[in-house]
Chain A
Amino acid sequence: MADTNSLDVIRRSASSDVPPSVRTHQEVAKLIDVSRCIGCKACQAACEEWNDVRDNVGVFSGTIQNPPDLSARSWTLMRFSEYENPKTGELEWLIRKDGCMHCTDPGCLKACPAPGAIVQYANGIVDFVEENCIGCRYCIKGCPFNIPRYSAQDNKAYKCTLCSDRVSVGQEPACAKACPTGAIMFGSKGSMIEQAADRVLDLHARGYENAGLYDPPGVGGTHVMYVLQHADQPELYQGLPKDPEISPLVQIWKGGAKAFGFAVMGLGLIGGFLHYITVGPNEVPSEAEREAVELEREEKVKQAAEQGARR
């Protein structure tokens, strides 16, 4: 994907230089309304068809969830949870479409040591560029949602692309197109937050007092969001993390050790150390600036969410 879309890239893995990113894009988002998902797996079928990937015909393993897990050839998966609500005494069957969340602050990208193997576009999509992938599997460690999967066949990692190829030509992702009940919506992030607010109000009226939007700030918000009946307990939905964060190990790697390593490679041991002292401070402001921008964006998203929730 990267060649045609490189002008849209705002971040590249393992690259200190900022990509040109001459084109600006509205941030997009997929909103998955779990309360109207019927678990039909049309999204899984559409994903396989559009991307032309086929998993193996497996076996029954004690769940109607099939394939049993995400894989290098299954990029999205309906996860089914049977939940007996202690408050109502009623059974609930919570069905969540799992797949890449397309974090604003992507742990996979941060963890990735291969230059340009993971990119983030201006529209928010986080994409794997497999030709640059070295198969180290750090992205798997870096992801707080346990999404990327490694393929031993070609020594590459794979995950949902949010149909970046379709989105770049103005189409919605294949799963959203196939979803028969409109449980998967797609649009600008702002409009999706508004949609979610409507849905949350409706769920409140139906007695789900803790219904809400899942757009976790720990990863800067996501470009795949959920409307959950129990937003206070996302872990009910087969372990959706409550406060996902990038692993501290990745933060250290990204923050200090990585820069250190590159410096060592470029300039030799002592000279490099000296250079780090002088060059380092130059990098700090740009990092800090970016963080500030991201913080501001988070704030906006939060405000919009709150506004939405109040409506």
Chain B
Amino acid sequence: MASLAPSFGRGAMTNDWMDIKNADLLIVMGGNPAEAHPVGFKWVIEAKVKNKARLIVVDPRFTRTAAVADFYAPIRQGTDIAFLNGVTRYLLESDKIQHEYVKAYTNASFVVREGFDYKDGLFTGYDADKRAYDTATWEYEIGPDGFAVVDETWRHPRCVMQLLRKHVAPYTPEMVERICGTPKDKFLKICEMIATTAAPERTMTSLYALGWTHHSSGSQNIRGMCVVQTLLGNIGMPGGGINALRGHSNIQGLTDLGLMSELLPGYMDLPLQADKDLDAYMSRHQFKTLRPGQTNYWQNYRKFFVSFMKAMYGSAATAENNFAYDWLPKRDVPTYDVLRAFELARQGKMNGYVMQGFNPLMSFPNKTKMTEGLSKLKFLVVLDPLQTETARFWQNHGIYNDVKPADIKTEVFELPTTCFAEDEGSLSNSCRWLQWHWPAQEPPGLARTDIDIMAELHLRLRDLYAREGGAFPDPILHLHWPYEVARRPRPDELAREINGYTVENITDPADKNRVITPAGRQLDSFAQLRDDGKTACGCWIYSGCYTEQGNMMARRDPHDPDNRGIAPKWAWAWPANRRILYNRASSDPQGKPWAEDKKLVWWNGSQWVGFDVPDYGPAIPPSQAVGPFIMNQEGVARLFVRSLMRDGPFPAHYEPFESPRKNLLAPDIIGNPAARIFKQDLAELGSSEKFPYAATSYRVTEHFHYWTKHARINAILQPQQFVEIGEELAREKGIANGGWVRVWSNRGALISKALVTKRLKPIICDGRPVHVVGIPHHWGFTGLTKKGFSPNSLTPVVGDANVQTPEFKAWLVNIEPTTPPAGEMV
């Protein structure tokens, strides 16, 4: 999400699951949807069967997605940017870009400030001590008119198109083969296939998931594809887009509602300590339009923010107290992500941890560090429908969790919660649909909904603050709590609050006595939000989900006009029920669809009409040349993302922090130079001499995360852990298929059975083989399956430079055959 928003304006899958069927070409890189998203994968098959589409899979492993691909090519894990920049180079060199689209809808012509450069693997402004950039030069040159300077001819040496050409020049097919291990002929074949979609009537969809995000350059992997798809004119088009297939059914909802330490709902950001007051905070959120006449919807930031504060603090948020701005927490560091949280826990700087639906002992890197951190807490509260390993981190389970319970003082509270099938609410899926669901059965035993537990917790804390006072009681005492039954807020009450409502009568600006909307009405959309405190809205992008017409998320009308894969009355999608983002770009600058069978939204002479809700001002004529990327200050898609990402405005190849190979393009650089890594974690990195094999972790289709091992049928379908290796490595090491192996990194070891397979082949990089060791993660020490190890017994603690997603997909191990652990029959 940290790459899609800088590129296009919003951090979400651009298209829709159903729309995948409209693609002419599908590329799966950084994902394995046949295994991880088997239900959604039906649309890939639909594209193949009905649209005769071709499917390309690029993956270190021959996956179940590769099993149904038309073309598969291997790639060494962690080198996707080199591959993608190689594709970009191919498209530019062979002039296979959609010129009219790129001219009108991207920042190719924008001129970048003097001084910006990229040399020896670094962009201008790098500070090695801080592992961070001064990004001052990563911006456009501003002309005397106050707008960005552009050169429509693309001749200016500092225009984005010229800089991009220069940036991708080293990524020749030969270099791609040396870095990625993708044979040159296969790489070029894929380039040729991709290039066919530069034609306006052909589109390619990109499907990715955690195979791109789980890297120290994860966000930039996605950026690599953003550049490719933008040059091809595949954004805003049916069957196109960059489709982030989210890892959990509601993980899109997590970021949408701001459950990241640095976010507020609707992708607003939590103030920094330096933002002393609301004015200071707002000065960072000016969103000045960079080209004349652009929509630049973020200009309404203050309306979103003030309405959010009204939803939080009700009548206690007033213009006089800056709408309770002082009650918001202020960040002293960029993020308090999980990696930082456990660093603090390990240092003994954290007292308690409340975990909701979260199993970090298994899901986060370096289990030893997790255990150390958890052991130093005074208390741990786990809210979960399942018996998680984290809640039992203190229990000894032999080799699978070898701890001394007597030495652990942490007090653990386990609060059983309902699961999705036992409660009511909405789930936000990958393609931004909010779908309401109802309970299918009563929760078992003493399980309660998370809402009930949180409500009770709040009310008790509030009582304590009311009785005893405290250092800072205001944010707790004044939290707006308007629910009919205080102890049990209903999901629909919360949904109505998230949608937003009028707090006071909204009157006609011309006639103060004329009420346009009375107080207490549900809003129709975020267009009605105000910055004077007369509206409240819990999450501006969700505004429209629960209007005076009722719960739009509960709609179940599958009617799909012209079978376009839109079905506009099925549930509700943010923003404003638009199903394909940036859909104005499906028509040419004159408002005419690029191709008849790819038509989606077009200008009918007086307004924008079509199958989808226009992601655009409905009556803005094409002659005004307002860009289709209405969230961006430029109005266009960004090939160059300015200073919006910490590790560079263009994607650049960096090796994983633990890599079997040196960075061929910048041999002195280890890992992503702008990624944060804590001192002890840096010291715990292993070398390729001691750990020569490239490990990766992943899911298999039979299980979902660490949940389904608690379910009988899933346990039957994949009962026990295995580690996958190729036949060559097995031969070299004397490992038998089904035999036991020990795999270890610089941080830990695991013992597992081995699966020796033809599907993992040595990847030949720079003439020498890299052996891949694949470690699926689903087994632990609770549940119905055999006990097993998480691959996170081995993984390093380093995250993506922008969002701190850990580097689960590329690290180093060693492997040897071993004997079965005690108590194992075979």
Shortest Cβ distance from residue B333 to the other chain A in the assembled complex, whole angstroms: 42
* A54 CB contact (under 8 Å) in B39, B45, B70, B712: B712
Contact A60–B68 (Cβ < 8 Å): no
Residues of A within 8 A of B66 (CB): 93
Shortest Cβ distance from residue A99 to the other chain B in the assembled complex, whole angstroms: 15
Q: Given that A38-B35, A39-B701, A45-B717 are known contacts, is A62 also in contact with B42, CB under 8 Å in the complex?
A: no
Residues of A within 8 A of B67 (CB): 38-39, 92-95
1/0 contact string of B733-758 vs chain A (CB within 8 Å): 00001100000000000000101111
Contacting residues of chain A (84-141) with chain B, CB-CB under 8 angstroms: 84, 90-95
Q: Is B514 an interface residue (CB 8 A)?
A: no
1/0 contact string of B281-310 vs chain A (CB within 8 Å): 000000000000000000000000000000
Q: Is B546 an interface residue (CB 8 A)?
A: no
Residues of B within 8 A of A278 (CB): none
Shortest Cβ distance from residue B738 to the other chain A in the assembled complex, whole angstroms: 3
Q: Given that A54-B713, A55-B716, A58-B719 are known contacts, is A64 also in contact with B755, CB under 8 Å in the complex?
A: yes
1/0 contact string of A42-70 vs chain B (CB within 8 Å): 10110011000011111111111011000
Contacting residues of chain B (236-288) with chain A, CB-CB under 8 angstroms: none
Contact A64–B700 (Cβ < 8 Å): yes
A40 to B37, CA, bound (A): 10
Contact A67–B713 (Cβ < 8 Å): no
Q: Given that A38-B64, A181-B41 are known contacts, is A91 also in contact with B717, CB under 8 Å in the complex?
A: no
Contact B758–A180 (Cβ < 8 Å): no
Q: Is A152 an interface residue (CB 8 A)?
A: no
Q: Is A182 an interface residue (CB 8 A)?
A: yes
Contact B719–A48 (Cβ < 8 Å): no
* A93 CB contact (under 8 Å) in B48, B715, B759, B825: B759
* A60 CB contact (under 8 Å) in B45, B719, B784: B719
Q: Is B34 an interface residue (CB 8 A)?
A: yes
Q: Is A277 an interface residue (CB 8 A)?
A: no
Q: Is B72 an interface residue (CB 8 A)?
A: yes
Contact A36–B49 (Cβ < 8 Å): yes
Residues of B within 8 A of A45 (CB): 713-714, 717
A38 to B758, CA, bound (A): 17
Contacting residues of chain A (194-219) with chain B, CB-CB under 8 angstroms: 199, 202, 205-206
A84 to B720, CA, bound (A): 27
Q: Which of B719, B737, B786 has the most CB of A within 10 A?
A: B719
A59 to B824, CA, bound (A): 10
A92 to B67, CA, bound (A): 6
Contact A48–B721 (Cβ < 8 Å): no
Residues of A within 8 A of B719 (CB): 57-60, 66
Q: Is A82 an interface residue (CB 8 A)?
A: yes
Q: How many residue pairs at the A-B interface have CB separations less than 8 Å?
A: 121
Contact B753–A60 (Cβ < 8 Å): yes
Contact B52–A60 (Cβ < 8 Å): no
1/0 contact string of A15-54 vs chain B (CB within 8 Å): 0000000000000000000011111111011001100001
Q: Is B702 an interface residue (CB 8 A)?
A: yes
Q: Given that A54-B712, A60-B719, A181-B42 are known contacts, is A82 also in contact with B49, CB under 8 Å in the complex?
A: no
A92 nearest in chain B by CB position: B67
Residues of B within 8 A of A93 (CB): 62, 64, 66-67, 759
Contact A60–B39 (Cβ < 8 Å): no
* A67 CB contact (under 8 Å) in B68, B700, B701, B716: B716
Contact A38–B41 (Cβ < 8 Å): yes
Q: Given that A41-B702, A82-B757, A91-B758 are known contacts, is A54 also in contact with B68, CB under 8 Å in the complex?
A: no
Q: Which of A45, A84, A180 has the most CB of B within 10 A?
A: A180
Contact A54–B716 (Cβ < 8 Å): yes
Contact A91–B62 (Cβ < 8 Å): yes
Q: Is B65 an interface residue (CB 8 A)?
A: yes
Shortest Cβ distance from residue B36 to the other chain A in the assembled complex, whole angstroms: 10
A92 to B786, CA, bound (A): 30
Contact B737–A62 (Cβ < 8 Å): yes
A92 to B63, CA, bound (A): 10
Residues of B within 8 A of A60 (CB): 719-722, 738, 753, 755, 786
Q: Which are the 6 A-B pairs with shortest beta-carbon distances?
A: A62-B738, A60-B720, A38-B34, A93-B67, A40-B38, A181-B45
**Can you list 16 residue pairs at the A/B interface with Cβ under 8 Å?**
A38-B65, A39-B701, A45-B714, A57-B784, A59-B826, A62-B738, A62-B753, A63-B755, A66-B717, A91-B759, A91-B761, A180-B42, A181-B38, A181-B42, A202-B49, A206-B54
Excluding A91-B72, A183-B45, 6 further A-B contacts by CB distance (< 8 Å) are: A38-B41, A54-B713, A55-B716, A56-B716, A93-B62, A182-B45
